[in-house]
Each structure stands twice: as C-alpha cells, then as structure tokens.
A and B are shown apart, each in its own frame.
Chain A
Amino acid sequence: MKPENPFVALLSLLVGLLFLSPVLYSIWMSFQTADDFYAGRVTFTLDNYERAIGQFNFARYLINSLIVSGLVTVLGITVATLAAFAFARFRFPGGDLMFGATVATLMIPSHISLIPNYLTLAKAGLLDTYAGLILPAISNGFACFFLRQYMRGIPKALDEAAYMDGATHLQVLWRIIVPLSRPAISSMALYIFIAEWNNYIWPLVAVGKQDLYTLQIGLARLYRINPGEGLIDWPLVMAASTITILPVLLGFLAVERHLVRGITMGAVK
C-alpha cells in the first residue's frame, strides 16, 4: 500500500469523527441523569440503564429482537441460498419466470404487502406470535438475487468435479458452493440481520402483546413515558438506544472479516 498523504489522513479522521459524533454524544448522554442533563451539569450514572432494563422491560425486548432477527437471518439465508443455487445452476421449466418474479419483488415497496400479509397471518392465527414476526421476512428477493449472481461467478467445473467425485446436489451446494460464497453469504446475513433489527412497521402491526415487543417498538414507546411534564427523558431514551445499537455493532465486528475476502483464487488457472 502507498503511504497515506497526511492531509488525506487528517481529512478522513475529521469526516469519521463527524459521522461518529451523534453516536458518541448519545452514549455520553445516556450516562447523565435527566435533571443534570437539563441543568447542564456533567455527572455519571448507570441509573438510565437500570430503568430501561428493569422498569421498562428492555431486557425482554432485547431477547425478542435477538430471537426474531437471528431466526429471520438464519432462515432467510437458508431459503435464499437454496433458491440461488437452483437459479444459478439448473435449468428447469418456469425457472426464468420464477427468477424474474423474484427480481420483480425488489421493485415492490414493502408497505404494499403490509395489509395482505396482515390478513394472511390473521387468518392463520399467527398474529401476536414469534412466527408472525418471523415468517413474512424470510423470503428475501434481494438476497436471492445477490447470491445467485455471486454463485454464477463460481466456475461450474468445480461442481462437475464434485459430481464426478460422487457428490449429490446438496453436497455440491454445502461442500463447494457455500464455502466459496462465504463473502457474499456473510454480507447478506449482515444485511438481513440489520434490516430486521431495524424493522419497525411490521412488528408494530403484527404484535400487540408487550411480551413480544422488539427493541424498536419499545424504543418508540419510551417517547411517551413522560407526557405530563412536556419533556422527553432523553438520557433514558439514549440508554435504550445504546442497548439497541450495541448488538448490531458486535454482529458487524463478528462477520466483518469474512466480508471482503475473495476465495475463488486458484480454483481454475
């Protein structure tokens, strides 16, 4: 790598700080008491975290969010990978049409499917359940499209070599295609996880029981905690926000090293 131009390095640092500043500010704020914050005094307290977790049930919401986002990610990636493998490697009647339909779903705003999904789940009796939160999110047209494109870049000779070695279709997928698609699959997993983590509308619609609230719903409710005083308890909201963004940050750090690595090198001369 070239040595960095010091001016560019300084500029990058400043831009980075600029992006980070609201996050840092809110984390800082989450350690103040409301009174001190509005009075302009600087203190340090864990009180807001205690209240968010104890009084306002955020531990529960965190678990719900982890369950829902985790399962949506695992199931969504599974479905997308299987479908992508089929679209990338097999010609079958209606295949092109089905792939076209999959791509077409990318152009449908999610809000349009909100009511149909609600009615379907209501009929199935799945409102106010984890299944109701998870099922509509596991078919992901974008992930399928993205993985299919990536898999088409893997030389078909590798599949054929595996078939000659005695592999079944699923063994080819699991032993050859999936390991070689790891960068794409990790990216998609992260993308699905974050999208589901931040999903607000669907949990709002599909769930009424407080026990099933996800973090986003819980967070939104916090704004209405102190309506009488006319003031929002910002330090409390910021503590809850910090609880909300932390898992995403950790998740990103966990998969980041898989994201950009090219693995196909050396497969075919």
Chain B
Amino acid sequence: MIWETVRLSLISIRRNVLRSFLTLLGIVIGVAAVIAMLTIGSGTTEKVKTDISKLGSNLLVVRSGRPAGPGGPGGLDQVTRPLAAKDVEALVAHLSGARAIAPASQKQVRVIFGTESLTSGVTGTDSAYLDARDWNLVSGRPFSDSETRAGAGVCLIGETVRQQFFGAGDPEGETIRINRTSCRIIGLLEPKGYTGFGQDQDNVVLMPLAAYQRRIAGNRDIDNIYIAADDRTPTTELQPRVEDILRDTRRITPDRDPDFSIRDMTQIADAMASATTTMTGMLGAVAGVSLLVGGIGIMNIMLVSVTERTREIGIRLAIGAHENHILIQFLVEATVLSLLGGIIGILIGLAIAGLASVTLTIPFAPSPAVILLAVGFSALIGMVFGFFPALRGARLDPIDALRHE
C-alpha cells in the first residue's frame, strides 16, 4: 500500500517535472546551504585544531608591543622596545614549568640555489625551537650548541624549499644563498602543510639566531619568544610567571602596562574554533529561512495539486477510499517531493563543500549525522507543509469532487 503510494507520487511528480523542480528549489537551496556550511564549518574546525597541534601544543608566544585588546596582537604603529637576548636568558634562568624556550626572528627573504630562487620565511633561532614547536627532522641533525653560539652558516630547510631546489633529492650538505650570505643545509624539517590562513608552513629556512641577526637582519632584535609548557603546567598558569619575569628584566612596574604581549595559542585556537561555530550557526539560520520558504513552496504546490486532481479524489472516494487513504497519498507525495529536494540539496551541498575543501585546503569532513538530519528534516518539512493540503483533499465531498471540472 505505502509502496504503491510512493510509486504513485513519483509518477505524479514526473508528470510535472519542471513544476516539481521549481517547487523543490527552495528545499534544494536550503539543504545545500546547510550541508555545505556545516561540512565546511567542521572542516575548518578540524583544520584549526590540527594547525594548533602543528604549532605546538601548550605554546605561549611573546612579542614586543602592547596587546591591542583582549587577546589581540600589539599595534604595529607603536614604537616599542624589541625583545632582547637578556629577556630570553632571564626566562631560561628563572621560568619553571617550561619544556622549551626559544627566541626567533623572521623575515621573508629571497633564497637562491643554482639558477632557482624562492622567497622563503627565514628564521633565526636555536635548537630549542624545534622542541617548542613540536617539530621533528626528517633527516639530518639540529644545530649544535657551538653552531648556535658562533652563528655558524648552517641551516635546516622545510619541505617546500627542498622541492623547489632539489625535487625529491637529498639536500644535505648542499649550500644555498640567502641575501648576501650562504649556508650549508644540515637537516630537513618534517612537513606541516598550510595554516588556516593559507600560509605555507614548509616554506621556511631555519638558521642560528646569531647568524640571522648578523647577516640578514643587521640588528640584535628578537621578534618572538616561543615558550612550550611542560605536561604538568597549563599555559594559563605559565603565562603570569612569564609576565612577572619579563616585567622584572624589562623594568616595568606593576602599575604600568607591559610593552610586550603574551599570546596563548590554545586560547587563540579556541577563539577561532568558536568563531567558526558562530559563523556556522548564523549561516545555518539563513539556511533555515530558506527551508521555511521551501516548505511554503511545497504547501503551495500541493494545494495546486489537490485542486487539479479534485476529480481524481472524487473517483477514489466514490470507489471506496477511506479519508486516510487520500490523506496518506498526498502526504506521501509531499514527503517524497521534499525528500527528493533534500537529496538533491545534499549532493549539491557536498559538492560545494568538496570544492571549498580543495580551494581552502581544509579537510573534507562530511558528517553522516548531519546528512541523516538533513534527510529527516526535509522529509519532515514535506509532512508538515503537506499536511494541510492533504487534509483538504481528504475532506472533499465525493459528489462535489466528481462534479468538479
């Protein structure tokens, strides 16, 4: 009986392909929007999470400059005292609960090997940097202490740099030119991929801080200090300790604002993730309105369908159809129609999300639960908005209906 009814409704939908399709557009757009949004949203969240773990978990980053607002970076226009070696030394000497403390300065610089060139993020740092950022070497070795101290012409390169210059080949022992200086490659960094902002984290060259300062930056400034908390210490506990030590060495009395900022990467990650969720929610509301419009479209077309088929309803009632038979027939038709729209919408939504995941380099993360929900929801829309027209059909007087022309 139900199967018969479903078959019947498919036939009647097929009889009016164009009209059915136009009716479905609201549902299709609504469901496609929801699916695309939620899929992209969860992909972004996943991406942010993996970015954070790539950045190094439980990481604090110190920068010079006043924090602009809650959690925000310092304004670029401020003239501020840069971080210096003594700040790092003070932290190394006095900070407890840190697993690794590494200074780092970086700059986009043209790197040359043979006839090839590449603009790369050149970073001056020490061997603790790898530890602080949870970054391993695929091959080779980190800087030795003496190389760090002396500012030797050695460097570690990221995967992008290797591919540009050496293809799949072994870069170790080769010498690349950076600005007017050169360095010998002693190791290859593990690939990290792109950040959520589309920045290639593998397009990097690491070199000893002293060498960077002397040969590339031309000053002794330190841009960032990376501090990784150990397993027992939450970053929220570590942060005030860092601030105390730095206020001390930089002689900032407690009544004044610090001239440096400490960013907690975990907090930033959470903020980003929740911003994504908010966005998803807002866009979801927009999609919800579209679904409502789609539902009204279904109601409208079902009313038209009931009117058009008044005579058919009369015939069915005359030969002994129960009211519920008619009710179910039109309810099933509305549900099948809206379900069809839902399925088309899901396919389009997934296609959009798939495309977005390629262009935004985020993972394609379709959620079976969300898809199932969309299917259920579109069926529900059909039932809810189809009910009134179906009831109208079922309540028709058979004699009037038979006389209808």
Whether chain B is bound by chain A comes out as: no
> Interface of B with A (CB < 8 Å)?
none
